[in-house]
Structure 1
Amino acid sequence: MEKELTDIQNQIQLAGYIKEHYKLPDTDIRTYSPLTLAFIGDGIYDIIIRTVVVVGGNAPVNKLHKSVSKMVQAKAQAELFHRIQDQLSEEELAVYKRGRNAKSFTSAKNAGIVEYRTATGLEALVGYLYLMNRTERILELIKPVLSAMDT
């Protein structure tokens, strides 16, 4: 599992690489709206989970989808946040709270509003860390979800 995390980290250090490759301008990530951070954070969280599931073994796509769906739904993300909230720095907690408190015009299909907002906060944090090129920190925070896969 540890080698897989290192491999994923090396593969997903994309933000800086993409920015450099396409000569994108420097932007202060702290000025991004929390829903913009959650938008990219959702994709990054999803790709990490998908990568671990796929690298864990070839399987029918339907089985892969079911495995991933359980871990990326709002309820699972809210549970993860409650497991890791004591490990967050003040900066990380502030980003999470901005995401949680953002007024979204959508809602989760299978989650209550509290779970959905908690998940949005977590996604905003993941997006922020990703854009700050702090992939190692993302993997550290997501580790409880990945460890649960081993059991």
Structure 2
Amino acid sequence: MDNTNQVKLLNPLSLAYMGDAVLDQFVRKHIILKLRAKPNRLHQQAKRYVSAKSQAATLDQLNDEDWFTEEEQEIVRRGRNAKSHTKAKNTDVQTYRKSSGLEAVLGFLYLENREDRLQALLEAIVAAVEERE
């Protein structure tokens, strides 16, 4: 079995777990270099990008733009439909599931070492959030 099949067969919530860390690290780097602020302000700014509500809105926006490939859409769908045993904090289940879908595709691209596509998606996420403000 090649690496692609192994990654595709991972639990979508495992992909989302990885994607959450990837997005968090990217956003932290982005805001640190952009703001050069104190940690509390950085944390407040980071929440604008990584909250479930923001991620769900970004997923909807990218879907409207037909941003994802068919393969990526399948990963998003699997992440969105996965049954999580954790309760969503400060949001409804549908929003939480959408954010899990976005995180799953991030985790997939990261674990697949698809660096160009991952970078493009991370930049699209940041741009989408900043566009909405």
The count of aligned residue pairs is 126
Matches within 5 A, 1:56-135: 56-85=34-63, 86-135=66-115
Matches within 5 A, 1:126-145: 126-145=106-125
Report deviation, 1:36: 0.7
- Alpha-carbon separation, structure 2, partners of 1:53 and 1:129: 22
Deviations 1:21-63 (A, max 9, x none): xxxxx74211111011011010001111111001113211000
Task: Return the TM-score normalized by structure 2.
Answer: 0.87
For the aligned residue pairs, the C-alpha RMSD in angstroms reads: 1.7
Percent identity over the alignment is 37
Choose 125-134 or 139-148, whichever is displaced more: 139-148
User: Which residue in 2 is equivalent to 1:8?
Assistant: none
Report deviation, 1:98: 0.6
Judged with a 3 Å threshold, the aligned counterparts in structure 2 of structure 1 residues 142 and 50 are, in CA distance, closer, same or farther, namely same
The answer to whether the Cα contact below 8 Å between 2:49 and 2:126 also exists between their aligned partners in 1 is: no
Matches within 5 A, 1:9-20: none
Task: Return the TM-score normalized by structure 1.
Answer: 0.77
- Alpha-carbon separation, structure 2, partners of 1:75 and 1:135: 26
Deviations 1:106-139 (A, max 9, x none): 1321211110000001100000000111232123
Moved over 6 A (4+): none
- Alpha-carbon separation, structure 2, partners of 1:139 and 1:66: 23
Kindly name which structure, 1 or 2, has the bigger radius of gyration based on alpha carbons.
Answer: 1
Deviations 1:48-79 (A, max 9, x none): 11110011132110000000012100000001
The answer to whether the Cα contact below 8 Å between 2:16 and 2:105 also exists between their aligned partners in 1 is: yes
1:47 to 8, 25, 28: 25
